[in-house]
Amino acid sequence: MVRATQLLHPQREPAVPRPAATVLLLRDGAQGVEVLMTRRSPTASFAPGAYVFPGGAIDAADAQVHGHAMRRPTQDDLRLTQAVAAIRESFEELGVLLARHADGTPLSPADLAAFDRRKPFVAQCIEHGLKLAADQVFVLAHWITDRDLPRRFDVPFLVARMPPGQQPVADEAEQFEPVWVRPADALQRHEAGQFFMIFPTIRTLERLRKFETVDQVLAACATEQPLWTSCPRAGFVNGAEQRYMEHEMAYGELALTSPDGQLVHHLDWRHDQPVRLLKNVMRLTAGNPGVMTGPGTNSYIVGDPATGYIAIDPGPDDAEHLERIWYATHGDIRMIVCTHSHPDHSPGARPLQAMCEKKPPILGLASLPTARPASEFTPDRPLAHHEKLQLQAGDVTHTLKVIHTPGHAANHLCLVLVEDGLLFSGDHVLNGSTTVVDPPDGDMTDYLDSLDALTAACDEHGIEYILPAHGHVLGFAKQAIAHLKGHRLNRESKVVAAMRAKPKGTLEEWVEIAYDDVPPRMWPMAKRSLLAHVQRIESLQLAR
């Protein structure tokens, strides 16, 4: 866990979320699933003027009427209370009544006409012998309002089929203009500035648009578990506020730089100045963006003015980039560490060393004869597996532990900032792409074994964040590594299938099958990793 003393901003306790429930009323339209949405009052305290799904806060009374609701055998008390709240809100806001007679028969027009939206809802249901159709309400998603907002809600997004024969009528107090809309159309209108929606609504519609029928939606929700759970985080891009879910690339960096969710961090890629991630960690991104490097190669600086600094991956021999590293450290670089010898990582080491008055040692592992000519590298001193590099001043220590991780390159290593549970992953783990494993210096079995070593390191050191050589900080470190390993093994299965389909095939033929989900323009690079897969498959005799 990151030391509180190294956080950039004073932390504050986010507002406590209030329990609420939202329901997506669905119907099958001529062109697919349609969802009922309404516009919130322009004076509402939360999301004024936004198009939303009906819903609101869960009342204490919602948990007291379980005996007057129909429930599924698998529907626990919490889900039942949420469904009751959603049904009540649908009636109060839109006059939609999700209820049936006790014998299961549907409502008649006379039943609907007998209800008064100004009177207590459940009492009227009891009076007319009706039961709430909570058994027809399913959980789709679970949203928790972003930590930076003053009003927060803990909200299941529920789904239910619109009762036949009913028409929504807005209360004209909290909700206005009920409209049936296809998710894709709502999103398109929002992009055009004609249909304002907030982040959770947008993301929910993005996922809902893949379904063709209401039956498909309800079948997907039959497990009683949300299809996703999210408490988004916010940062700035080009000066504008942007929000991200847990699986999106910027989320981990926002969690690291602002654990309490304050809107303070800028996510723009800067090549002209360092980006502070913690008090003791800076990132400088080299000006070498490209297909293989993403926004550029990340150089990291660990330390503080009292302890001095360690520079990790000085990058290419780029005078302006190296000068920025020198200025960011005031020239007080105690060590230069290269995660591996590829030309976008290590060539800057010697020129950076020469810029420093006290020549810091260049540390790493020497390239092997299997490395390509442009990747030749010899450190001043080789690093040993599990060796520790320390900076210390007074009672403050920054310790980098070395982990040898061959696979992407034979001399690849990763570094753990022990006191803060951070993993500097070089090219072994990237954000937004998978690294190339290029034989003969790259080896797929070594690569997978090294992922296991990094998982063990996460357990040992409580690692929560991964700082890659390309891309933003990754959160949920163990899950990210597990996902990457799963992706590699799934790719291996596709390579095995290609080899079995064409036993005498070539790499060119196999890549079309095994990488059919990758744009053809990327196949020349994909063939490098394909060869690594083939060599592993052949050595383990997996294609027989």
% of the chain residues with pLDDT over 90: 86
168 pairs with which residues across the strands? none
Tell me how far CA of residue 129 lies from CA of 94, 124, 161, 208, in angstroms.
21, 8, 22, 35
Q: What pTM did the predictor assign?
A: 0.92
Tell me how far CA of residue 137 lies from CA of 79, 84, 86, in angstroms.
9, 9, 9
- pLDDT class of 174 with cuts at 50, 70, 90: confident
**β-pairing, 229-230 with 138-144?**
parallel
The tens digit of pLDDT for each residue in 47-62 reads 788 999 999 999 988 9
Tell me how far CA of residue 270 lies from CA of 57, 190, 300, 435, in angstroms.
42, 30, 13, 23
Residue 543 has pLDDT above 80, yes or no: no
At a CB cut-off of 8 Å and minimum separation 6, what does 384 contact? 402
The tens digit of pLDDT for each residue in 504-524 reads 999 999 999 999 999 999 999
Distance CA 255, CA 7 (A): 11
What's the mean per-residue pLDDT of the chain? 94
Residue 331 has pLDDT above 80, yes or no: yes
Residue 343 has pLDDT above 80, yes or no: yes
Residue 258 has pLDDT above 80, yes or no: yes
The mean pLDDT value for 456-485 works out to 97
pLDDT at residue 119, as a whole number: 86
**Tokens linked to 216:** 């498909």
H-helix or E-strand spanning residue 399: strand 396-404
pLDDT at residue 41, as a whole number: 82
Residue 173 has pLDDT above 80, yes or no: no
**Tokens linked to 484:** 């990457």
Domains and CATH numbers, the chain: 18-231 (3.90.79.10), 233-268 (no CATH), 269-488 (3.60.15.10), 489-540 (no CATH)
HSE (side-chain half, CA atoms, 13 Å) at 43:
3
The three-state secondary structure class of 518 is: coil
Residue 182 has pLDDT above 90, yes or no: yes
Residues 455 and 478: beta-carbon distance below 8 Å:
yes
pLDDT at residue 37, as a whole number: 95
Residues 495 and 517: beta-carbon distance below 8 Å:
no
Query: Any idea what DSSP says for residue 167?
Result: -
Residue 501 has pLDDT above 80, yes or no: yes
33 pairs with which residues across the strands? 28
Residue 153 has pLDDT above 90, yes or no: yes
- pLDDT class of 329 with cuts at 50, 70, 90: very high
The tens digit of pLDDT for each residue in 76-89 reads 999 999 999 999 99
pLDDT at residue 170, as a whole number: 86
Residues 410 and 452: beta-carbon distance below 8 Å:
no
At a CB cut-off of 8 Å and minimum separation 6, what does 371 contact? 341, 377, 409, 410, 411, 441
Residues 271 and 299: beta-carbon distance below 8 Å:
no
The mean pLDDT value for 427-445 works out to 95
Residue 45 has pLDDT above 80, yes or no: no
At a CB cut-off of 8 Å and minimum separation 6, what does 87 contact? 23, 69, 97, 98, 99, 132, 133, 134, 137
Q: Assess whether the previous peptide bond of 440 is cis (omega < 30° from 0).
A: yes
The mean pLDDT value for 393-403 works out to 97
